[in-house]
Structure 1
Amino acid sequence: MAKAFSRNDRVSEQIRRELADLLMFEVKDPRVQMVTLTDVEVAGDMAHAKVFYTAAKNTKGLQEGLEKAAGFLRSQLGKRMMLRTMPQLHFVYDESIDRGMHMDKLINQAVSEPAVPEPAAPDTPAQE
């Protein structure tokens, strides 16, 4: 019987949990204090991991802070997790939440505008 989740899925979730803990309690860089990790995708060979994040305000300093802390985070992950090789971390800003908020704003705007009645079509006799 196949397992419910593949090994990559389990490793990705564990990396996300450990990184969130490390970013909250271990990293002292003020640029990365208010970051939320949304997802982690680990490559099939476990050599690379894309870490998707979002923040209340996305600044260039945030990306730089995460890239600077990547080595420290990778070494701490190596100590916390039992993997033969720890994937390299690549941080990618997750725009899906921003897009969702923009779409929600557009929908609310469209709903709040009064409906314009369509002009009635003139009655034309049916042609035989």
Structure 2
Amino acid sequence: MTVKKERIESIIKREIASSIQNKLNDKSLSFATITDVEVTNDFSFATIFISFFDEKDKVPGMEALEKAKGLLRTDVSKALSTRRTPELIFKLDESAEYGSHIDSILEELNNKK
């Protein structure tokens, strides 16, 4: 991965996290965490992985992010020094849930021994 790509991903992550915390007044986003940002090689798309602390906040939180996509993209464009601002794609990060599921399976196997 290039240094420029890593830098752009970290700027996007920082700006979106800041905007969610300071500009969006949605209760479902109060315990949302941006876990990762992946930018395509041509910088036209940025996939933002987000996780929620509470299960019931997932659907309304993702809907709130979709509604605020324009505002968030504007904030990102102000922070980036690139010619074009990537299109934002929000994806639910379920890796923590998957990891805890694997842990419970392993624990169950250990208890059977």
Q: Does TM-score exceed 0.5, indicating one fold? A: yes
Highest RCO, 1 vs 2 (Cα 8 Å, sep ≥ 6):
2
TM range (shorter): 0.7 to 0.9
Structure 1 residues 3-50: Cα deviation after superposition (integer angstroms, max 9, x where no partner)? x84311211111111211111112112222211011111111111100
Q: CA RMSD in A?
A: 1.6
Structure 1 residues 53-88: Cα deviation after superposition (integer angstroms, max 9, x where no partner)? 111225321111111111100111122332221111
Q: Which runs of 4+ in 1 moved over 6 A?
A: none
The unaligned stretches of length 5 or more in structure 2 are none
Residues paired across the two proteins, number: 111
Does 2:70 align with 1:50? no
Corresponding position of 2:66: 67
Identity across matched positions, percent: 31
- Give the whole-Å Cα distance in 1 for the aligned partners of 2:52 and 2:44: 26
Structure with greater helix share of residues: 2
Corresponding position of 2:98: 99
Structure-1-length-normalised TM-score: 0.78
How far did 1:109 drift?
1.8
